[in-house]
Amino acid sequence: MSKDLSEVIGRVIPAPENFLSPEKLEQARKARRSFMGKALAMGAGVAASAGAATRAMAADGEEAILKLPEHSTGLGQAVAMEDGYGKPSKWETNLRRRQSPGLTRVDQASVSFTPLQGLFGIITPSGLHFERHHQGWWDIDPSKHRLMINGLVKRQRVFTMDDLMRLPSVSRIHFIECGANSATEWGNVAVPTVQYTHGMVSCSEFTGVLLSTLLEMCGYDKKAAKYVLAEGADGSSMTRTIDIERAMDDCIVAWAMNGEMLRPENGYPLRLVVPGIQGVSWVKYLRRIEVGDQKYATKDEAVHYIDHMPDGTHRQYTGIQECKSVITTPSAGQTLLDKGYYNVTGLAWSGRGSIKRVDVSVDGGRNWRTARLEGPIVPKAMTRFNIDWVWDGKPAILQARAVDSTGYVQPKINQLRAVRGTKSVYHQNAIQSWLVSENGEVSNVQVY
Amino acid sequence: MKSIFKLSTKAVVVSAALSALTIGSALAQSAPWHNMGRDATPAEVKAWDIDVRPDFKGLPAGAGSVSQGEAVWEVKCASCHGSFGESNEVFTPIIGGTTKDDIKNGRVKGLEEGKSISPQKTTIMKVATVSTIWDYINRAMPWNAPKTLTTNEVYGVTAYLLSLAEVVPADFTLTDKNIAEVQKRMPNRNGMVFYEPLWKANGKGDVKNVACMKDCSVDPKVHSFLPDFARDAHGNIQEQNRVIGPVRGADTTKPAPKGLVGSSAAAPVVVAARTASGGADAKGMLNTNACTACHGLKSKIVGPGFNEISAKYKGRADAETYLEGKIKSGGSGVWGAVPMPAQDQLSAADAKTIAKWIVEGAK
């Protein structure tokens, strides 16, 4: 049965325009739905109702093939259009960063979400990288931007962009996830698509100089230094504490993202990359690194980005983005057009290392199969997974569950709540459930 | 050193790098790039090193009274935060939800499950360190003109907020000398926990799951789902998905279909690119200058709706000039007690554009 389904379904079999009466069409459709009328469907064909005009086809074949389109018979456009910087196809404008209505009052202190539902592979196109601004974004003149390193160092130094970009650089792929990604789902289902549940995560190749190189150049005090403070040059002058071990490990003072300079809304000309740690620590418009011996308790580590626990305490400095995954297609808000074969695909990531395995369930977590991981599998970066699924038309609950290189297994939402309650806003990394209904619509649900 | 001079350049670098593994700053001294950049001058460090730590390292000397702070607050802060720090219109409330007992115990009771006495968690309920308040006001406030308050004004505004929370009395003057004493009265000073496993890269998580593969125990009930009335709360999802491929976005302008939609959903729906927010027109300016945070196009938020302003001054001969002036310099009393802050960042030309747009009907 499932073999037949995968052969027959999901393909449009066009008919000559007006070849079938509406009644016949309905009959053919019903027959096809019941899997009994394969012969009728194959023989007579089923015209897509809304697409009928464009799919109209003569008896000897489809118009899209037989009648050569303008782009095959005319002259195309010139090089270096669009002021020399290419844009996506006009057919792709549906996939864009979007705000969640009502989430914030002011656009300068808001979020726009990455449309994960339509992306491929692991690299987020720079124009679709999620945004989170605390006091609006700027497009800073790079020739006037400076990075200062001060505090517990032998030489308090100032670097121009010229200086920084002459230094030995690294290029590394890392995910960046806002600590509040999936926050709306702590208590119950609140938003309709994966763009809004998980769209505050992106993954890019970043290029810059290792922070350790700069700290060595400044002769940081190896005995006394315990933390660094990273500070931005924008109005909020975002400040975050980072421990010295991490600062000396894999943090990058980055100027480039995906082969070009950072986009202004992502911190042009300089941002800190703190692999595995929530996005708020990836300070944009980075102007200063202070080496110190105590934590700083800045506003965004003393009022926000703290985890409200059931006993009324707050956990402070919980920056790790733990192992997480989500199915991006099919996902909530999408509609399966028909029964049959689907390539279920999604993303997994861990702030503690690399993705070891992703399992997928289509029955709400009762049974699991291990998905194929696509390369490259990079530590603290997104990993793309795929798995085959033949939908039989019955309700199904799709879930993905990631395991990282430390052996940590992504938890269920009820397991997360049992430890951390429901008052927290941050660090929600639970298994996400998508319900596929009989009408093919996929929706956001919570199951335990 | 003499022997090193005999080696090739490459060997010198390798040798230096190797020794760096064992000898601290040898790399910095020996790396060919170690002199990149320049020393920061004391004045430069002073200009940028503005952070204030919980132990008050970095706090400049100064003083500000509650009443001095209140005066600044009314002009520069109240429009977004409310006269008493209670506002949730534009930003989350700062003050509220704490008690005298909390001040005594250093733990805010209202943060415990089911014990809250305020509709929302406020800043003062959460923040444990008074340095955080001082530092943030100093570096990032007022929102549209950060870093423009004087040191004494920051002390004053901090004192005013603390007086609203009854941490300090109404006649208090906050200074660098007494701020450590004030710290001992912060309502949630004992409410923070440092949980190291979620700070260190090699920590172990606090939530455990096992990777069961077959016949796993599940609760078959769907515990939460979106109600039907929320179907289009995020717009038409069809327009937020690709027009080709294995799936389509659901058409949320219509009720859920009874059966499979089949290939009929294949009709391409491509939304024309949204006009970029911002720009040279009046509406763009409203957005880039955050005017719409307080003024709705057709409704009052904190201040009057633009339609209301337009209606009020309809027919007044000098309406455009009058509104241009009000936009630039702010004011209060016309529409209510909450003052509108001056919009110094707006050029005269931009203020004129917005005024003209309002006079012409704010459409």
Q: Are residues A241 and A338 in the same domain?
A: no
Q: What per-residue confidence (pLDDT) applies to B6?
A: 43
Q: Are residues A198 and A252 in the same domain?
A: yes
Q: Are residues A302 and A378 in the same domain?
A: no
| B61 within 8 A of A162, measured Cβ to Cβ | no
Residue range B235-244, pLDDT digits in tens = 999 999 999 9
**Where do we find the tokens 């979400």?**
A113
Domains B63-183 and B282-359 in one fold = yes
**Which listed CATH number (3.40.1160.10, 3.90.1140.10, 1.10.760.10, 1.10.630.10) goes with B282-359?**
1.10.760.10
Interchain CB distance below 8 Å, B247 and A308: no
* SS3 assignment, position A172: strand
Domain ranges of chain B: 1-37, 63-183, 282-359
A298 and B CB contact within 8 Å: yes
Does some domain include residue A81?
no
Does some domain include residue A32?
yes
Work out the pLDDT band at B88, boundaries 50, 70, 90: low
Q: Are residues A41 and A158 in the same domain?
A: no
Structure tokens at A173: 């792929």
Q: What per-residue confidence (pLDDT) applies to A28?
A: 47
- CA dist B3 to B7, B8, B12, B14, B15, Å? 7, 11, 10, 15, 12
Interchain CB distance below 8 Å, B208 and A334: no
DSSP structure class, residue A311:
T
* Nearest partner of B189 among B252, B260, B98, judged by Cα: B98
> Mean pLDDT highest for which of A369-373, B198-202, B301-305, B354-358?
A369-373
Task: Using CB atoms, pick whichever of B239, B243, B258 lies closest to residue A439.
Answer: B258
Interchain CB distance below 8 Å, A337 and B262: yes
List CB contacts (< 8 A) between A98 and chain B: 234-235, 240
Q: Which of A316, A352, A359, A426 to mutate to test the interface with B (most CBs of B within 10 A)?
A: A316
Model confidence at B265: pLDDT above 50: no
Beta bridge partners of B247: A336
Residue where one domain finishes, among candidates A11, A41, A70 = A70
Interchain CB distance below 8 Å, B193 and A314: yes
Does some domain include residue A331?
yes
Q: Are residues A112 and A221 in the same domain?
A: yes
Q: What per-residue confidence (pLDDT) applies to A19?
A: 40
- Compute the mean pLDDT over every residue in chain B, rounded to the nearest whole number: 85
Structure tokens at B112: 């415990």
Residue A156 sits in a domain whose CATH number is 3.90.420.10
Interchain CB distance below 8 Å, B200 and A243: yes
Residue range B25-43, pLDDT digits in tens = 455 457 999 999 999 999 9
User: Residue type at B49?
Assistant: D
User: How many folded domains does chain A comprise?
Assistant: 3
Between positions 14 and 33 of A, the ones with CB within 8 A of B are 29, 33
Does some domain include residue A218?
yes
Residue where one domain finishes, among candidates A49, A70, A91 = A70
Interchain CB distance below 8 Å, A366 and B215: yes
* SS3 assignment, position A373: strand
DSSP structure class, residue B128:
-
Q: What per-residue confidence (pLDDT) applies to B34?
A: 92
**Where do we find the tokens 């790790």?**
A320
Interchain CB distance below 8 Å, A297 and B54: yes
Q: Kindly report the pTM of this predicted structure.
A: 0.83
Q: Are residues A341 and A241 in the same domain?
A: no
Q: What per-residue confidence (pLDDT) applies to B3?
A: 43
Does some domain include residue A126?
yes
Interchain CB distance below 8 Å, A298 and B51: yes
Helix axes B348-359, B319-329, angle to 10 degrees: 130
Q: What per-residue confidence (pLDDT) applies to B1?
A: 38
Runs of H (alpha helix) within A167-226: 194-198, 211-217
List chain A pLDDT tens, one digit each, 448 residues.
344 444 433 333 333 334 444 554 455 445 444 433 343 333 333 333 334 334 556 689 999 999 999 999 999 988 887 789 999 999 999 999 999 987 877 788 889 999 999 999 999 999 999 999 999 999 999 999 999 999 999 999 999 999 999 999 999 999 999 999 999 999 999 999 999 999 999 999 999 999 999 999 999 999 999 999 999 999 999 999 999 999 999 999 999 999 999 999 999 999 999 999 999 999 999 999 999 999 999 999 999 999 999 999 999 999 999 999 999 999 999 999 999 999 999 999 999 999 999 999 999 999 999 999 999 999 999 999 999 999 999 999 999 999 999 999 999 999 999 999 998 899 999 999 999 999 999 999 999 9
Interchain CB distance below 8 Å, A403 and B55: no
* Nearest partner of B76 among B142, B149, B4, judged by Cα: B142
A179 and B CB contact within 8 Å: no
List CB contacts (< 8 A) between A155 and chain B: 39
Q: Are residues A413 and A435 in the same domain?
A: yes
Range of the domain at A205: 108-315
The arithmetic mean of pLDDT across residues B77-103, rounded, is 88
CATH of the domain spanning B63-183? 1.10.760.10
Q: Are residues A293 and A406 in the same domain?
A: no
ipTM higher than the 0.95 cut: no
Which residue of chain A is at minimal alpha-carbon distance from B240?
A94
Does some domain include residue A193?
yes
Residue where one domain finishes, among candidates A298, A315, A332 = A315
Give the integer Cα–Cα distance in Å for A359 and A352.
19
Q: Are residues A133 and A37 in the same domain?
A: no
| A419 within 8 A of B206, measured Cβ to Cβ | yes
* Nearest partner of A204 among A173, A181, A178, judged by Cα: A173
Helix axes B151-164, B66-76, angle to 10 degrees: 100
Does some domain include residue A97?
no
List CB contacts (< 8 A) between B266 and chain A: 12, 48, 50-51, 337
List CB contacts (< 8 A) between B45 and chain A: 148, 150, 156
Which residue of chain A is at minimal alpha-carbon distance from B191?
A313
Does some domain include residue A113?
yes
Distance from CA of A374 to the nearest CA of B (A): 20
Work out the pLDDT band at B65, boundaries 50, 70, 90: very high
Q: What per-residue confidence (pLDDT) applies to B355?
A: 86
